[in-house]
Structure 1
């Protein structure tokens, strides 16, 4: 039987069919399928899914577990039940504390979270102004200090006309928003406000990405990288990098 390969999110359709209790959505249609022992070979290497990840055939189409296939191809998969969105992104390289920084490509200055105000001013000079939130503006790079140390960095299109300031993974204003997911993988995507937020817990100089705010056990060692994009042209419009407290309370 000739089959087209299609996929669905493991843990949604498959687990519902295999569970002892079947739950149907109000707009669902009941179907009959049969499971088939499939062999999965990736670049010549055979991999075997767990028992809940067997594929099945329906009306001549073979369905396979998306999570198993994607992770076997070194991709990240996430499922948002609220919006019914499945996201598959490139698996990013490891994250380091150096990722909590902004590079000024004009002067080759690197400003990192945790850097002292004195060190910043040695690189960027005195801030042009300070707003009511006590955020200092250095020619379009906005910095929030706590106890005279950098706690937050922001770059916005309203303050900049070029991509002079870039993240450690070389993302700047005006870049295509697809580059966000290529560089950082899946994050918490707010489809209403067109933003992706990536949460990290620090340990031994490394950043470990966590899936949700509920997974943050120690906010004092948690950090955030958040990037927004323009809905019309799909380009990066804001970059925010900082510790957890700054990102969620600007304090």
Structure 2
């Protein structure tokens, strides 16, 4: 539940303004809109009832972090791939701007004051919340008027575009799975969402290379811990890897989970490195600087083109060439054979990108061909 919620939490921030196609230039104008200092949104639609130790805490958007901490307890701080921080109160996630609650993702013990929770049916949620702001979506946009203490629902794309990104603009977003079952509810303030978007854009702009991509080598089969020079590479022993990434959090047939990274081992050697959108206090990037939320355009500029591509991602099949760590990128019509049985060496860099505009990296795997084929 927590992993799914973290991904939803991050993607909701990024999608909050994209879905209304915020016109170019309006983002900067919206982010300059003066914040309504000290304004707590006292409306049921922006109020969460949180069960804590047998009691019910009332959480409202705009509350101070100190107030939320008193009600929910001391949270754990995590790093978002966009460079910001968020906080976990059990399975509840929260984000603050200028010390006030600007994003809240409901957990199993949470409900909106209207009675809608993450386990509610979509039909029941729609009945209690009414029609969404834009038809055929699950997004509700509101404007909070602090002077009259009134929350107005916005209707239609034009109204959402008018207020999107401002500190008096709020979104209530429902998340459903492929079967139509609801699994997430997020509340986010407009300026919080846009600040996250701007960080992602700045990060990608800074990362975009000015020269053509250099050939991929064995040195690229690694990840680097953010803010350090420490790296984990394919071929390391488990002891060497854990000296960098710390102790395991969880273990499964397909690898061992650590803070911010999942690692696959075979005969005590690292054979797979995986990054995905999940809760983390430590972030990792590739030696070329790509990490979670790197855009597809930037990733391809860093690593070059590949023929193994589709709408969801890019895959680089890499064949060792010579004895100096060189790798050759395999082409679809080449004679390359990934001979797993005879242990012919080959390596894979595989990516998945979000469906949002621009496509942002949500999963990265660097592994050898045997792991890619067998999962072990």
> How do 1:49-198 residues align onto structure 2 when only pairs under 5 Å count?
91-133=212-254, 135-160=255-280, 164-187=283-306, 188-191=308-311, 194-198=312-316
1:243: how far off? Answer: 0.3
CA drift of 1:154 comes to 0.3
Q: Structure 1 232/218 Cα, relative in aligned 2: closer, same or farther at 3 Å? A: closer
Name the residue aligned to 1:238.
363
Structure 1 distance, partners of 2:333, 2:284, is 27
Structure 1 residues 228 and 218: CA distance shift in structure 2, 3 A: closer
In structure 1, C-alpha distance between the alignment counterparts of 2:349 and 2:370, rounded to whole Å: 13
- More helix per residue: 2
Distance 1:103 1:159 in 2: 18
For residues 232 and 212 of structure 2, what CA distance do their matches in structure 1 show? 26
For 2:333 and 2:277, the matched residues in 1 are separated by 27
Whose strand proportion is higher, 1 or 2? 1
CA shift, 1:158, in A, is 2.9
TM-score (norm 1): 0.58
Unaligned 5+ residue runs, structure 1? 1-89
Deviation of residue 218 (structure 1)?
A: 4.9
Give the match's secondary structure for 2:278: helix
For the structure 1 residues 137 and 176, does the alpha-carbon distance in structure 2 shift closer, same or farther, using more than 3 Å as the test?
same
* TM-score, structure 2 as length reference: 0.40
- Name the residue aligned to 1:75: none
Moved over 4 A (4+): 159-162
Q: Which residue of 1 aligns with 2:133?
A: none
Shift of 1:217: 3.1
Q: Secondary structure at the match of 1:95?
A: coil
Name the SS of the counterpart of 1:143 in structure 2: strand
2:351 is aligned, of 211, 227, 235, to 227
Q: Return the alpha-carbon distance in structure 2 between the equivalents of residues 161 and 178 of structure 1.
A: 27
Maintained 8 Å contact 2:222/2:366: yes
Question: In structure 1, how many angstroms separate the alpha carbons of the residues matched to 2:268 and 2:279?
Answer: 23
Distance 1:235 1:115 in 2: 29
Alignment partners' CA distance in 2, 1:143 and 1:180? 22
Q: Which residue is 1:47 aligned to?
A: none
How big is each residue's C-alpha offset from its partner over 1:89-137, in whole Å with a ceiling of 9 and x where there is no partner? x85212211100011114432000111111012222221111233x111
Q: Give ranges in structure 2 of 5+ residues lacking alignment.
A: 1-210
Give deviations 1:216-243, integer Å, cap 9, x for gaps.
3354310000111101141111111010
